[in-house]
Structure 1
Amino acid sequence: MLLENKNVVVYGAGGAIGSAVARAFAQEGARVFLTGRTPDVMETAAKEITAAGGAAETAVVDAADEKAVADHLAAVVADAGTLDVSFNAIGISPRGLQGIPFTDLPIENFLHPITTYTRAHFVTAKSAARHMIAQRSGVIMMNTPEPARLPLPLVGGMSVGWAAMEGLSRALSAEWAQHGVRTICLRTTGIPETPTIHTVFGLHADALGTTKDQLLEMEGAMTHRKRLTALDELAQAAVLLASDRASAMTGTVANLTGGLVVD
């Protein structure tokens, strides 16, 4: 197992991405600590993990609340002994933020994803690094969609926020990799299995006078392999990059866009 005896905290674990990554980590032997703001959905994910023979625990934690994050991680390390991986998969509703031309987008709506994403990712990374630097090992991970790199219309401040996340990941690596802490960002296309992407494409379809399905088909056709990133592909890549087999990888963006973005 690639993550045997590893202790992993997942933020936004009640969402489609967070729960899928948590399940994949547990399948590879990790003890998974699921956090988020909605206990019911996290409990469902935890029960699925334990039913499959994995180890999972849940806690209500707001990833943007520095004290809550720090207190939770202190409790995790006191119980488990180490903090080996921190994966932040939080998301925000795209309504009022996407599908709106910049000329019509209120400044508050433009700034909301930028400040929300950068704050939450800095808070969770900073809190995790304090433990990881002390033990001289650990991996800090995040996920961005392709507008972080590929300019697309009607995405509002979301693309700027995602680009800031990738820049943050690189900056953290420059400071922490010398202490054994790796930072990895996984960049995907929109993932069709997630409810959020259907909301997003619905907003864009309404603005462009087309249908959600047509937009999904169009984006898939833009990739080299003619299909969008699958949820399991992201989860399995996260397992590999969190493992010691990827020990030389840090300060980088793993490109899982299937050729939609070419590095």
Structure 2
Amino acid sequence: MNSLKDKVAVVFAASGEIAGAVARSFAQHGAKVYVTARNLDAATALVEEIVANGGRAEAGKVDALNETEIDTYLQMVVADNGKLDMVFNGIGSYYKDAGSGTSSTMATFEQFMNPLQRICGSQFLTSRVAAKYMIESGSAGTLLLLNASMAKTKTPNMAGFAAACAAIEGLTRVMAAEFGKHGIKAICICSGALMETRKIQEMISDFSAYAGIPREQMESQYTKFNILPSGPTLKQLGETAAFLVSENGAPFNSHIVDFDCGKINVL
């Protein structure tokens, strides 16, 4: 459990369940983890949990859509540690703001652009600022991005979100090609629906009510294409993230790593 010993990690949007799982795993594997979120209380609570379990962590208040705040924070991290080994951004988007579940003929342009600006835009900001400080400090670090399997499925009424997910895949490959000469890796975790998360459970409830069908029937739509009897978990995602940013994750540089336990409907 020491594959990340003495490494320095920054996790953005850590008030969310996915980023929280990644932060916990980084710390369990020996990294010093800087946990950030717009909600400082949420970041502090996660840090207290990590420290109580023997890990090293510090909390910070950072808006992952504010480049000045991102830059100032990462500059501080590098000044205090002399390096930056990995960055993960778990930012998401409220599905109604993104027009998810709304026909493309009815969704507004603002809804279509919301996930592109919020999700893909934030990944661009945190990754490029992190790369700048990795280059300046000589850190051969890892930019670990996150998207969803919507980039590879043919799902109706999800235009903005699907476009944002596909854009993040392209961004990952560009950054890998651009920063590889500095020893910097760029990898993207492409996650399927994590059934234990609040966001997915809320979507199931809302979509079933909207469609006028039982909740159980709507939930089955999320699992009917699973190859294995059970889908991925938050803990498994955290462990996957820790592996990818370790030295053993280097072969996955520039790759989009499907995290779904296998789906018949995902390319």
TM-score (norm. length: structure 1):
0.95
Which residue does the alignment assign to 1:93?
94
Match of 2:172 among 161, 169, 179: 169
Q: Is the 8 A contact 1:185 1:252 kept in 2?
A: yes
Give the % identical residues: 31
Q: What's 1:122 paired with?
A: 124
1:44 has 2:51 as partner: no
* Aligned-partner Cα distance in 2 for 1:211–1:80: 53
Alignment of 1:228-243 (within 5 A): 228-243=231-246
Q: Unaligned stretches of 5+ in structure 1?
A: none
User: Match of 1:247, SS?
Assistant: helix
User: Structure 2: where are the runs of 5+ without partners?
Assistant: none
Amino acid in structure 2 at the alignment position of 1:204: F
> Which of 144, 149, 154 is matched with 2:152 structurally?
149
Quote the Cα distance in structure 2 between the aligned partners of 1:35 and 1:213.
Answer: 36
The corresponding residue for 2:3 is 2
- Matched AA of 1:58: A
* CA shift digits 1:180-210 (9 cap, x unpaired): 1101111121111211111222333234332
For the 8 Å contact 1:98–1:204, the answer to whether it is kept is no
Does the CA contact (< 8 Å) of 2:140 and 2:184 recur in 1?
yes
1:55 aligns with 2:49: no
Secondary structure of the residue aligned to 2:227 is coil
CA offsets per residue over residues 127-180 of structure 1, 9 Å max, x none? Answer: 100122231400001222210111212223111111111110111111111211
Displacement over 4 Å in runs of 4+? none
Aligned residue identity for 1:229: P
Give the corresponding residue for 1:106. 108
In the TM superposition, 1:128-207 aligns within 5 A as: 128-134=130-136, 135-207=138-210
Q: Which TM-score applies when normalising by structure 2? A: 0.94
Is the deviation greater in 200-209 or in 215-224? Answer: 200-209
User: Which residue pairs with 1:18 in the alignment?
Assistant: 19
Deviation at 1:219, TM superposition (A): 2.4
- Cα distance change, pair 218–118 in 1 and its aligned pair in 2 (3 A): closer
Q: Distance in 1 between matches of 2:206 and 2:172?
A: 29
**Alpha-carbon distance in 2 for matches of 1:29, 1:84:** 12
**Range that drifts further, 195-204 or 170-179:** 195-204
Amino acid at match of 2:128: K
Q: Give the length in aligned residue pairs.
A: 263
Question: Which sits farther off after the overlay, 124-133 or 202-211?
Answer: 202-211
What one-letter code is carried by the residue in structure 2 that aligns with 1:101?
S
